[in-house]
């Protein structure tokens, strides 16, 4: 049996950030990081765009290399199969037993597939799944993409030379991140220009609305720009058909023409070579749920309180595996994103080191405001606060400014105070919006001038 004061499970962003945090705060204490994946994720090149909004790169490296400057951290490549929380023991698939003082579970999540046992259905999570997708795509004429979140949006934009049938439950594309107005703005962007390709490829979009209808992998989730160095190309010509307001009702066996067919709830039957199920994630909670940790009904994550504590003693959780169950700040909510995985991992380290000590600690400022910066259809997208009016029950006003093909700015106001913002393009408004959401200044006197491009509104707030 091996033993450590602190044990962290998971070599993704949450687990590595947690182990790094503990190594910094308690350099004398032994730390063991157990990861089912042979490499672990290292956050590098952090760029702060505002106080709370940051961008970073993620590199996959051997565990020993990532922790070479943290001599108290040992990395074990193995899978945790059993938790005995009464005796503070973990059993690994090799049969080894690890005893912990405090444990942080950062086991991430896996794709929640529509037909998990069907060999024609693929999910995207880690490097291996991308390689598999690339291999299958190269011999595909038509792919059905199911889902309307981050992965589906990226795939539709990044793949070429293939017919795509994009099946979405909603009335507009990319609904996880944007409203119908921004989705319309993006539709033009499907005339895509890849950074590495000077010749624009025109994507033809056909829309079809049904008005009546309202492989488990062990690697860590991919990092930013995961598709930048991967050629995702099929055997046909570009063509995207969006099937709105519908779902896949059945997956049928193929015939001489197509290897597999999907039947949609709008009554259509579509033959294809491959189905990508980009339909969200399912937290990897198995050994911990079986040991009695409470699981959230809403998303299947391990319930954690404000200090990232699960319901089992001395066991914390962070990142995609956990479900935040505390009285949240008005402008923050959980989304399974790498910035949140990083903040949660780092903060869990603080909680593990300082919990039960006489000195009280406060919750991290990162949980005051939801922030996310990403790229959709090749454009910078910044999402702040209640960017989609979340929790406001439709009681809000919208201020909108749009320049076709260049920028889309949407501000969400309630009682004259800024609650959230969607900033697409190089708007340079992120700092101002972040401050206005945090300080809740009454903006009524500015009216629509808030977005008047001829007025430098930031002068008012200096």
Shortest distance (Å) from residue 242 CB to ligand NAI: 13
Question: Measured from the CB atom, is 147 or 234 closer to ligand FAD?
Answer: 147
Interactions with ligand FAD, residue window 273-302 (CB under 6 A): 284
Are 121 and 250 contacting, i.e. CB atoms less than 8 angstroms apart? no
Are 410 and 182 contacting, i.e. CB atoms less than 8 angstroms apart? yes
Shortest distance (Å) from residue 444 CB to ligand FAD: 34
Instruction: Please name the residue ranges forming H helices in 26-137.
Output: 63-66, 127-137
What is the rounded CA–CA span in Å between residue 33 and residue 14?
A: 11
Q: Among 90-98, 146-154, 346-354, 422-430, which window interacts with ligand NAI (CB under 6 A)?
A: 146-154
Interactions with ligand NAI, residue window 164-203 (CB under 6 A): 169, 175-176
What is the rounded CA–CA span in Å between residue 262 and residue 197?
A: 33
Distance of CA 214 to the CA centre of its chain: 26
152 near ligand NAI, rule: CB under 6 A: yes
Q: Among 24-32, 181-189, 219-227, 257-265, which window interacts with ligand FAD (CB under 6 A)?
A: 219-227
Tokens representing 424 are: 């697409």
Interactions with ligand FAD, residue window 223-252 (CB under 6 A): 224, 226
Question: Measured from the CB atom, is 49 or 441 closer to ligand FAD?
Answer: 49
222 near ligand FAD, rule: CB under 6 A: yes
Are 423 and 409 contacting, i.e. CB atoms less than 8 angstroms apart? yes
Binder to ligand FAD among 150, 301, 385, 420 (CB under 6 A)? 150
146 near ligand FAD, rule: CB under 6 A: no
Longest dimension (CA), the chain: 71
Shortest distance (Å) from residue 176 CB to ligand NAI: 4
Beta strands in 220-350 (DSSP E): 239-244, 248-253, 260-264, 269-272, 274-277, 281-283, 302-304, 315-317, 322-324
118 near ligand NAI, rule: CB under 6 A: no
Shortest distance (Å) from residue 355 CB to ligand NAI: 28
The residue whose Cβ lies closest to ligand NAI is 149
The residue behind tokens 């009335």 is 171
340 near ligand NAI, rule: CB under 6 A: no
Binder to ligand FAD among 6, 8, 11, 347 (CB under 6 A)? 11
114 near ligand NAI, rule: CB under 6 A: yes
Are 56 and 46 contacting, i.e. CB atoms less than 8 angstroms apart? yes
Q: For the range 308-314, what are the long-range contacts, defined as Cβ-Cβ under 8 Å and sequence gap of 24 or more?
A: 308/104, 308/344, 308/347, 308/348, 308/351, 309/351, 309/355, 310/105, 312/85, 312/288, 313/85, 314/85, 314/88, 314/100, 314/101, 314/102, 314/103
345 near ligand NAI, rule: CB under 6 A: no
Residues that bind ligand NAI (CB under 6 A): 114, 146-152, 154, 169, 175-176, 247-248, 278-281, 335-337, 374
Residues that bind ligand FAD (CB under 6 A): 9-15, 34-37, 79-80, 106-109, 124-125, 150-151, 218-222, 224, 226, 284, 319-320, 336-339, 341, 374
């Amino acid at each position: 049996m091996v033993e450590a004061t602190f044990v962290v499970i998971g070599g993704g962003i949450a687990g590595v950030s947690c182990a790094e945090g503990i190594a910094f705060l308690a350099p004398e204490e032994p730390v063991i990081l157990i990861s089912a994946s042979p490499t672990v994720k290292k956050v590098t090149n952090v760029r702060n765009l505002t106080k709370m909004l940051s961008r970073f790169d993620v590199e996959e490296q051997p565990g020993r290399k990532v922790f070479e400057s943290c001599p108290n951290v040992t990395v074990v490549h193995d899978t945790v199969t059993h938790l005995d929380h009464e005796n503070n023991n973990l059993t690994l698939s090799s049969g080894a037993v690890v005893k912990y003082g405090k444990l942080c579970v950062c086991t991430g999540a896996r794709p929640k597939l529509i037909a998990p046992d069907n060999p024609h259905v693929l999910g995207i999570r880690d490097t291996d799944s991308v390689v598999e997708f690339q291999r299958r795509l190269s011999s595909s004429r038509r792919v059905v993409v199911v889902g309307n979140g981050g992965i589906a949006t990226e795939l539709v934009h990044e793949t070429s030379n293939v017919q795509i049938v994009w099946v979405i439950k909603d009335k507009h594309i990319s609904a996880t991140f944007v409203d119908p107005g921004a989705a319309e703005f993006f539709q033009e962007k499907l005339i895509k220009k890849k950074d590495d390709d000077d010749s624009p490829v025109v994507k033809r979009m056909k829309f079809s609305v049904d008005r009546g209808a309202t492989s488990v992998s062990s690697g860590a989730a991919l990092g930013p720009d995961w598709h930048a160095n991967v050629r995702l190309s099929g055997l046909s010509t570009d063509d995207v058909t969006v099937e709105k307001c519908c779902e896949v009702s059945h997956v049928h066996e193929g015939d001489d023409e197509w290897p597999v067919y999907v039947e949609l709830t709008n009554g259509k039957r579509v033959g294809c070579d491959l189905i990508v199920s980009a339909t969200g994630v399912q937290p990897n909670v198995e050994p911990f749920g079986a040991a009695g940790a409470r699981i959230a009904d809403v998303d299947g994550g391990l319930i954690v309180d404000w200090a990232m504590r699960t319901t089992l003693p001395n066991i914390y959780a962070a990142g995609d595996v956990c479900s935040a169950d505390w009285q949240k700040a008005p402008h923050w909510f959980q989304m399974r994103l790498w910035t949140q995985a990083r903040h949660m991992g780092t903060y869990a380290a603080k909680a593990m080191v300082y919990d039960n000590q006489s000195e009280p600690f406060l919750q991290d400022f990162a949980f005051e405001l939801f922030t996310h910066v990403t790229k959709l259809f090749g454009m910078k997208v910044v999402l702040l606060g209640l960017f989609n009016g979340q929790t406001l029950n439709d009681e809000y006003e919208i201020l909108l400014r749009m320049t076709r093909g260049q920028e889309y700015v949407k501000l969400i106001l309630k009682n004259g105070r800024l609650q959230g913002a969607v900033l697409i393009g190089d708007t340079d408004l992120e700092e101002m919006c972040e401050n206005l959401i945090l300080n809740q200044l009454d903006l009524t006197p500015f009216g629509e001038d808030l977005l008047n491009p001829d007025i430098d509104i930031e002068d008012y707030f200096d």
